Amino acid sequence: MTQDKKPFMVAVEIPVSWGDLDAFQHVNNTVYFQWFETARIRYFEEIGFLDHLKATGVGPILAETSCKFRLPLTYPDTVTASAQAMDLGHDRFTMRYRVHSAEHGRLAAEGEGRIVCFDYRGNNKAPLPDPIRKAIETLEARR
């Protein structure tokens, strides 16, 4: 997973807060998933997925997610959380995340998410909308 060193297209810089630490004095594991979410939402904005959801009722649901913690983080630090979409299927795609620590100058965590398209009005799965598919392909082609 770490072989591919090219930066992901969508990246967000986030300061670590003192309050992100837990009783073990490290950034708590749940915070990494907040960072993934911040990168994911930014990615969705970039490809117009949230606007599409508002307009049509079809939007993303997170069906599964995972994180590998490469090194413990602490305060103070600034992380860059980035996201990439890949493996576009009929009604789903995969996101990959990376968290880079400025303090350590290297990868602190990486993860994945499985995004499924959902029709919130009809309350069932939906195909990945064409404009969203094209926006992802255009964005990822620039990488």
Q: Please tell me whether residue 138 binds its own copies under the rule CB under 8 A.
A: no
Q: Please tell me whether residue 91 binds its own copies under the rule CB under 8 A.
A: no
Q: Please tell me whether residue 56 binds its own copies under the rule CB under 8 A.
A: no
Nearest to 109 by CA among 8, 14, 35: 35
| Contact track, its own copies, 10-49, x by CB under 8 A | --xxxx-xxx-xxx-x--xxx--xx--xx--x--------
For Cα atoms 9, 11, 15, give the angle at the middle one, nearest 5 degrees: 170
| Maximum Cα interatomic distance, the chain, rounded to a whole number of Å | 47
Cis peptide before 76 (omega within 30 of 0): yes
Binding site for its own copies (CB under 8 A): 12-15, 17-19, 21-23, 25, 28-30, 33-34, 37-38, 41, 61-69, 72, 75
